[in-house]
Homo-oligomer: A and B are copies of this chain.
Amino acid sequence: MSQAPRRVTIRDVAARAGVSIATVSRVLGGTYPPAPATRSKVMKAVRELDYVANPHARALSGATSKTIAIVLNSVISPYYAHVAQGVQAEAARHDRLCLIGITGGDAARELATVRLMREEGADAVILVGNVVDDDGYKTRMAEYASALAAAGSQLVLCGRPSLGPDVPSVNVEFDNTGGARAATSHLLSAGHQRILYLGHRVGYTTSEGRIAGYREALAAFGVEHDPGLEVQGTWERAEGYRLIKKRLQSGPPDFTAVFAANDQVAAGALKALRESGLRVPDDISMIGYDDLPPAEDIGLTTVHVPHEELGRTAARMVLERESAGAGHVMLGTHIVVRDSVRPLARPR
C-alpha cells in the first residue's frame, strides 16, 4: 500500500530551526514574540519546509460556534449524564456544540450559568430534573424564559412539569406516574401487598409523580394504603442502605417487597438486606426506577426511563422548529423485567 505524503508539522519546523515547538507557535501566533534572531530562524524554516499553518491553528482564531446549553445539578448522577448524552448527540447532528453548566444544586450558580449561556448566544438552555414546584421556582423560571426569549434563545424544561401556556418555554417530560403504577402493579400481580415505598422526597415533582402511581396501583388492586409503608428519604445509594438498616433494627421485615424510588436507592437497599441475611428475590422482592447503572449489574427489575431520548427530544424541539415557541412532549416509560421479583405464595 502506498502512503499519503506526511504533512509538514510544527514539529518539523521546530526541528529545522533548532527551537522548541512552543517557540515556533509564538512566532507564528505573534504572541510572546521571541528575540528577532530566533524569529528569523523560525521563519526561514517555515519557508524552506513550505509549512502551511495547521488548519487547527487557523480554526483556533475563527468565529464562535453555535451552541446548545444544558444546566445540571451534577454530572455524577447517571440520570443527568444520560440526558446530557442525548442533547450532545442531537447537537452534533445539527452541527452545534454542547455546553454543560453544573450548579451543584445551588440557585445562585444556576442563575449565573443561565446568564452565561444566554450571553454565549446558546440556541437554547435546557434545565433538567426534579424540582420543588413552588412559587419561587415558577417565578425564577418565568424570569429565565423571558430573559432567554429576549436574547433570541429559549428555555427548555426537561423532566420537569410545564410552566403553563403563558411562559415561553419548551417542555419534555416522561411519565413518572405511569411507570410507578406499572411497577407497583407488577408486584401486586405477584401477590405482594406489603410493598415498602423507599425514598419519597416530599414536594419534589419527580417523587410526587412516582408515589402517586404507587398509590393508584394499590387502589386499583383494592389493597389498603398503609402510610407507614411510605418511607421518606433522598435518592442516593447510601440513603437506601441507611433506610433499610433502620427499618430492620426493630425486628423482622413488615413488608414482602420494596419499590425503591430509583435504582441507586435500590442498590443500597439490596446491600442492607443482604447484610441482614435477606435474599433478593427469595425473601424480599425488589423493583427500582430509571434503568440506569447499576440496575443491569445487580439484576434489578426496574422502570425504564428514556433518558437519552429526553435529551434528544429537547434538543430536536429547539433545533428543528422553524420559530421559537412553546411545546410539550410526554415520553412513555415501561418495565424491564430482570431477576429481583418473585411471586409470593398467598396464604389460603
Q: Check A138 against B65 for contact (C-beta < 8 Å).
A: no
Q: Out of B26, B85, B106, B146, which one reaches A31, CB within 8 Å? A: B146
Q: Check B54 against A143 for contact (C-beta < 8 Å).
A: yes
Tell me the A105-125 residues at the B interface (CB within 8 Å). Answer: 106, 109, 111-116, 118-120
A111: chain B residues at CB < 8 Å are 56, 59-60
Q: In the assembly, what is the distance between CA of A298 and CA of B115, in Å?
A: 42
Assess whether A166 is interfacial by the CB under 8 Å rule. yes
9-residue interface stretch from A96-104, A196-204, A244-252: A96-104
Q: Check B23 against A143 for contact (C-beta < 8 Å).
A: no
A84: chain B residues at CB < 8 Å are 75, 102
Q: Report the contact-size class of chain A (Cβ under 8 Å from the partner).
A: 35 or more
Q: Check A97 against B116 for contact (C-beta < 8 Å).
A: yes
Assess whether A345 is interfacial by the CB under 8 Å rule. no
**Looking across the interface, which residue of chain B has its beta carbon closest to that of A112?**
B65
Q: Out of B22, B29, B32, B147, which one reaches A61, CB within 8 Å? A: B147
Assess whether A333 is interfacial by the CB under 8 Å rule. no
A23-B166, A59-B111, A112-B59 in contact; A100/B100 too (CB < 8 A)?
yes
**Looking across the interface, which residue of chain B has its beta carbon closest to that of A60?**
B147
* Proximity bits, A7-31, B CB within 8 Å = 1, else 0: 0011100000000111101100101
Q: Check A25 against B146 for contact (C-beta < 8 Å).
A: yes
Assess whether A57 is interfacial by the CB under 8 Å rule. yes
**Looking across the interface, which residue of chain B has its beta carbon closest to that of A25?**
B146
* Proximity bits, A247-267, B CB within 8 Å = 1, else 0: 000000000000000000001
Tell me the A183-203 residues at the B interface (CB within 8 Å). Answer: none
Q: Select the residue from A9, A109, A143, A167 with max chain B CB neighbours within 10 A.
A: A143
A75: chain B residues at CB < 8 Å are 75, 80-81, 84-85, 88, 100
A54: chain B residues at CB < 8 Å are 139-140, 143
Assess whether A76 is interfacial by the CB under 8 Å rule. yes
Q: Check A149 against B32 for contact (C-beta < 8 Å).
A: yes
Tell me the A125-174 residues at the B interface (CB within 8 Å). Answer: 135-136, 138-140, 142-147, 149-150, 166-168
- The 8 tightest CB contacts between A and B, nearest first, are A20-B166, A31-B150, A25-B146, A100-B100, A294-B294, A294-B297, A21-B142, A88-B102
| Known contacts A56-B111, A56-B139; 20 further A-B pairs (Cβ under 8 A) | A10-B142, A11-B139, A20-B166, A21-B142, A21-B166, A25-B142, A29-B147, A29-B150, A60-B143, A60-B144, A60-B147, A64-B115, A75-B100, A81-B81, A88-B102, A92-B109, A97-B113, A100-B102, A116-B120, A293-B293
